[in-house]
Amino acid sequence: MTKSNAKTATLSNDNVIRVGKDEYTPTASLEHGAAIYDQMYLLQTSMLDCFNELGQILIQHRAMYKSDKLFGQMLAKSPLAGISRQDRSDTVFVASNWAKIQKLNNKGELDSLGVSAIRKRIKALDKPKAPKSAGNVSKGKAKPETEATDGPSDTKKAVTADELAKFVKAQMQEHGITKAAFNKAMKA
């Protein structure tokens, strides 16, 4: 059996939170957690910059070759031989969509997402929005108005992941639930 280097957090009877060998009061642990989250955000921003720069290099080198096959053969003999196809694809994607990624990141919509999740957000941005319906324009009877309810409705409506995410974010904000608490509950 191998030893784990993972730190485990415990709450003792004297309200001291221990993470590995470090001890925190409940308030200090939350402040420390906020500092860690800020550090994660900075690291993600730095990673995105690295993805962009490497992607720019790959895009420029790819332009020198007639085919992907020749480009791949050149990379296999280069100092970048160790980079996986997925990482190459991700870096090129980030570099190709850099302006959109910066826009989303500045709005705070990327949080600590990986490139795969960023791809989905960019794809959702690029989708044309459906035109809004003019509503009931028939000359017959108007549809009766229904009252909104808090519970689930009897009618089934397809909900997109983005709509669900917006709803959950709004509910979390309304009820004062942090992302960390929500993620912990989702894992349980």
* b/e burial code for range 79-114 (CB count within 10 A of at least 16 → b): eeeeeeeebbebbbbbbebbeebeebbeeeebeebe
**What is the predicted pLDDT for the residue at 48?**
86
Model confidence pLDDT, tens digit, residues 99-154: 988 888 777 777 655 777 777 778 877 777 666 655 555 555 555 544 444 444 44
125-147 exposure pattern, b = at least 16 Cβ within 10 A, e = fewer:
eeeeeeeeeeeeeeeeeeeeeee
pTM assigned to the model: 0.50
Residue 149: per-residue pLDDT: 47
Rounded to whole angstroms, the Cα distance separating 76 from 28 reads 49
Tell me the pLDDT band of 74, cut-offs 50, 70 and 90.
very high
Return the pLDDT at 133.
56
Predicted pLDDT at 134: 55
Q: What is the pLDDT of residue 148?
A: 47
**pLDDT tens digits for range 6-63:** 555 555 557 888 888 888 888 888 998 888 888 887 888 888 899 999 999 999 999 9
Q: What is the pLDDT of residue 153?
A: 44
